[in-house]
A and B are shown apart, each in its own frame.
Chain A
């Protein structure tokens, strides 16, 4: 078996092959949970753990999975991980699990998870699969953090719940931008990130 380039495996999904901005997967949840940085960060960690562990487990099982029920088996593994993450959040980080509400459960439908399992974990050994899963989760998380940074700062004037924009600004007539809290603005921000990335990386541009 050929040697695995771990550096490439780890770095590609974070920038050059980012699952959100290049593959455009997992958009739904990145719109929904990016109002506050704290929630976005926990969501990012949860997705990273789920993609990593699911890829690892599926990769360990890959030679025994009957081909005809492949997708169902993957789904069972992914849901197992998601429910575990959800249960742990409810037990140890209740307020955040309340903020994320249904979106933790909806990690099951996050295309990144199934996408990485189908595209990578089914054909590779466990350790590279784990790394690939974690890196893709991190790539997703990076976008989430960037979007939530802008949204929380402009939408609520806070970062991680701490006031950043001083009261004197508000006294002088500054107002939080209510539009940026709503999901459409997240989509526009995401579009801007894709734009910036494509202008930096010419090979991503379609002819």
Chain B
């Protein structure tokens, strides 16, 4: 047979491509549910790590099932709020398939935040900016941990080579961080990539996002060392751009959560005052 003819070549390549496409489509469809599960479990494990509820050893032994179970045992509520702190939607904790629903559309929120910042730079009117802000969907996961409620919020932004993201867990005062965890797509190994290591993110434990005067300052990632600053952690040597990007990301996200944080903090303070019979002058923050 003449394998060099035009007709043969065209038919051969067509058949080959169709065949390969069919195989790939089949495999992709067959493996898709498993892959989606893995992505979801990965996200949940990050959220749990931030809230100090994650046991890496148990996860290594029992796999995905442990992570889902641990989440469902500890979570009190999961909801999406808007920039004013109003609840837009609650997320299912145990869906029909037995798995929780996790809000994973962080990138669209980040894009929206960039638009809002642009609009503010251009000096657009308040109502235009608020219309943009109203589109924001901000997830909050609340966990029960030793009788306290720990609230975990995400952040997502641009690092040096690709996206960086993470989760921040707050104590009931909505000021002190209980923990944090970060991840990245492709920061430089040994430098920027260190943000994903415990040595870096464990520094966030006990840090606060308001300064002494009660102004929102977020948590700074300080080059040269934070030296015990309650609002700062040590940056990574050689990873300045990633460190700065992370600081900006945290600040950007938390700034939209501040109204919600204040509401919760004052509710908690009021509840505290209610249970405490002698408690009189506990003033909730505005």
> Which residues from chain A sit less than 8 Å from chain B, CB to CB?
35, 63-69, 72-73, 76-77, 80, 83-84, 87-88, 90-92, 94-95, 98, 101-102, 155, 178, 181-182
Question: Are B16 and A73 touching (Cβ within 8 A)?
Answer: yes
Question: What is the CB-to-nearest-CB distance from B61 to chain A, in angstroms, rounded to a whole number?
Answer: 14
Q: A80-B23, A182-B190 are known contacts. Are A90 and B35 too (CB-CB below 8 A)? A: yes
Shortest beta-carbon contacts, A-B, top 9: A94-B38, A181-B190, A91-B34, A91-B31, A66-B9, A90-B35, A80-B20, A66-B3, A91-B35
- Of the candidates B3, B24, B31, the one whose C-beta lies within 8 Å of that of A80 is B24
Question: What is the CB-to-nearest-CB distance from A48 to chain B, in angstroms, rounded to a whole number?
Answer: 20
User: Would you list 12 pairs from A and B whose C-beta atoms are within 8 A, ordered by A residue?
Assistant: A66-B8, A67-B3, A68-B4, A69-B9, A73-B12, A83-B24, A87-B35, A88-B31, A91-B35, A178-B190, A181-B190, A182-B189
Report which residue of B23, B38, B185, B238 has the largest number of chain A beta carbons within 10 angstroms of its beta carbon: B38
- Of the candidates B13, B38, B186, the one whose C-beta lies within 8 Å of that of A69 is B13
A92 and B28 CA atoms in complex are apart in Å by: 13
Question: What is the CB-to-nearest-CB distance from B102 to chain A, in angstroms, rounded to a whole number?
Answer: 15
Report which residue of A35, A66, A90, A94 has the largest number of chain B beta carbons within 10 angstroms of its beta carbon: A66
Residues of B within 8 A of A95 (CB): 42
Q: A67-B3, A73-B13, A76-B20 are known contacts. Are A87 and B31 too (CB-CB below 8 A)? A: yes
Chain B minimum-CB-distance residue to A92: B34
Residues of B within 8 A of A77 (CB): 20
A200 and B21 CA atoms in complex are apart in Å by: 47
Question: Are B31 and A65 touching (Cβ within 8 A)?
Answer: no
Question: Are B3 and A65 touching (Cβ within 8 A)?
Answer: yes
Question: Are A64 and B3 touching (Cβ within 8 A)?
Answer: yes
Chain B minimum-CB-distance residue to A35: B189
Residues of B within 8 A of A80 (CB): 20, 23-24
A46 and B279 CA atoms in complex are apart in Å by: 65
Question: Are A87 and B27 touching (Cβ within 8 A)?
Answer: yes
Chain B minimum-CB-distance residue to A178: B190
Question: What is the CB-to-nearest-CB distance from A181 to chain B, in angstroms, rounded to a whole number?
Answer: 4
Interface: B134 (CB within 8 A): no
A90 and B185 CA atoms in complex are apart in Å by: 15
Residues of A within 8 A of B8 (CB): 66
Residues of B within 8 A of A69 (CB): 9, 12-13
Question: Are A90 and B9 touching (Cβ within 8 A)?
Answer: no
Chain B minimum-CB-distance residue to A66: B9
Interface: B17 (CB within 8 A): yes
Question: What is the CB-to-nearest-CB distance from B113 to chain A, in angstroms, rounded to a whole number?
Answer: 26
A102 and B185 CA atoms in complex are apart in Å by: 10
A102 and B162 CA atoms in complex are apart in Å by: 13
Chain A minimum-CB-distance residue to B28: A87
Q: A66-B8, A80-B20 are known contacts. Are A72 and B31 too (CB-CB below 8 A)? A: no
Residues of A within 8 A of B28 (CB): 87
Residues of A within 8 A of B23 (CB): 80, 84
Question: What is the CB-to-nearest-CB distance from A71 to chain B, in angstroms, rounded to a whole number?
Answer: 12
